[in-house]
Structure 1
Amino acid sequence: MRIISGKLKGRRISPPKNLPVRPTTDMSKESLFNILNNHFNFSELTILDLFSGTGNISYEFASRGAESIVSVDGDMGCVNFIKKTAKELDLNIIPLKSDVFKFIEKHQSSYDIVFADPPYDFTQEQFEKILKDIFANGLVDEQGMVVIEHSKFTKMDHLEHFSFEKNYGGSVFTFFEYELEESDEDEDDEDN
């Protein structure tokens, strides 16, 4: 696993073999960040990384200068690995051990980007609940974006706030955003 871009570009990270994870491939990760790069200035972003696993996505955001990153995973081994790696590399990542569903339910902050990479064997209902609860509990800013990584067998393009999706082999990134209202400036211009 390596960091694709930013101040730690090319840095290899070797998680222990016994972690219960399926890290996002470098090729998929590079494509994801190319898309996000067209929407956001990373230096001002607040990030929530759900089902963070090895911290692969969190390290990428940190390397690119994100303001703050909260990484949530239910496995203590994953959380300890992220904590250790973030300290070694001096990254502004806050790793938290929590059941992600409970975290979403109780958490009070909102973020510019919420990235979720649940286990691919989650049911369709579990994937949909994650998304619904993120929006219902205000975890994403009005100008923000939710990205969910899932297998090609899970369908999310019919859900509220769907924006677009990108396929990379067996993996799919589906992007969700609030539908922004047309600004009132157009009407103001007509009055002048």
Structure 2
Amino acid sequence: MRIIGGERGGRKIQPPAKMPNTRPTTDIAKGGLFNIIENNLDIPSLKTLDIFGGTGSISYELASRGATDMTIVEKDPSMAEFITKTAQLLDIPTLKVIRMDVFKYLQQCTEKFDFIFADPPYAMDAMYKLPGIIFEQQLLNPEGWLVIEHTRQNDFRDYSYYRSERSYGGTTFSIFINREELKR
């Protein structure tokens, strides 16, 4: 696993050997996603939330490209500890790690974000609840983005605020934007 762009680009990160519930986003998929993000959003100004944080790869990439207000929610204690230690190694003091169930966190969260990234386990049925919960709880600022990583078998095209999707190999990103004309 490595950071692919920004000031920390090229830095390698050695994830734990045993990660039974974690699947890091591939470099190809991450590169494609960040090409979209950099062409549409001002990363240094974003307040970000990374749910189902896993290894923390997406937040490290955001930090490398200038983001300074980042939160990761990860339920697994060993992965949350890995994220915390890796953020220290990479000198990312502004990364806040919350060890908690994502759905509990979303229900009690009172903050608003500009960018939310969700990488739930691909087999999680509750994945389909994420857009509804995030928009009902009003967790995105106007024009804020929600990106959900999933497989091609998952389909979010009929959801409110859905904007587009991009696929890279077996990975698909569905993009939602908090924009009134996308509300259904």
Q: Same fold (TM over 0.5)?
A: yes
Q: TM-score, normalised by structure 2?
A: 0.94
**What does 1:106-121 align with in structure 2 at a 5 Å threshold?**
106-121=108-123
Pairwise CA RMSD: 1.0
Deviation at 1:144, TM superposition (A): 0.8
Cα shift readout 1:156-192 (whole Å, capped 9, x = no counterpart): 11111000000111111000012346xxxxxxxxxxx
Quick one: distance in 1 between partners of 2:29 and 2:166? Answer: 10
8 A contact 2:112–2:139 mirrored in 1: yes
Is residue 30 of structure 1 aligned with residue 31 of structure 2?
yes
The residue aligned with 1:6 is 6
Give structure 1 regions of 4+ aligned residues with deviation exceeding 4 angstroms: none
Q: Bigger radius of gyration, 1 or 2?
A: 1
Where in structure 2 are there 5+ consecutive unaligned residues?
none
Deviation at 1:18, TM superposition (A): 1.1
8 A contact 2:55–2:82 mirrored in 1: yes
Cα shift readout 1:41-83 (whole Å, capped 9, x = no counterpart): 1111111000010001010001111021100011001100010
The residue aligned with 1:184 is none
Quick one: distance in 1 between partners of 2:113 and 2:45? Answer: 11
Which gives a bigger RCO, structure 1 or 2 (Cα 8 Å, sep 6+)?
2
How many residue pairs end up in the alignment? 179
Where in structure 1 are there 5+ consecutive unaligned residues?
182-192
The residue aligned with 1:66 is 67
Is residue 173 of structure 1 aligned with residue 146 of structure 2?
no
The residue aligned with 1:89 is 90
- The AA in structure 1 aligned to 2:118 is A
- Secondary structure, in 3 states, of the residue corresponding to 2:40? coil
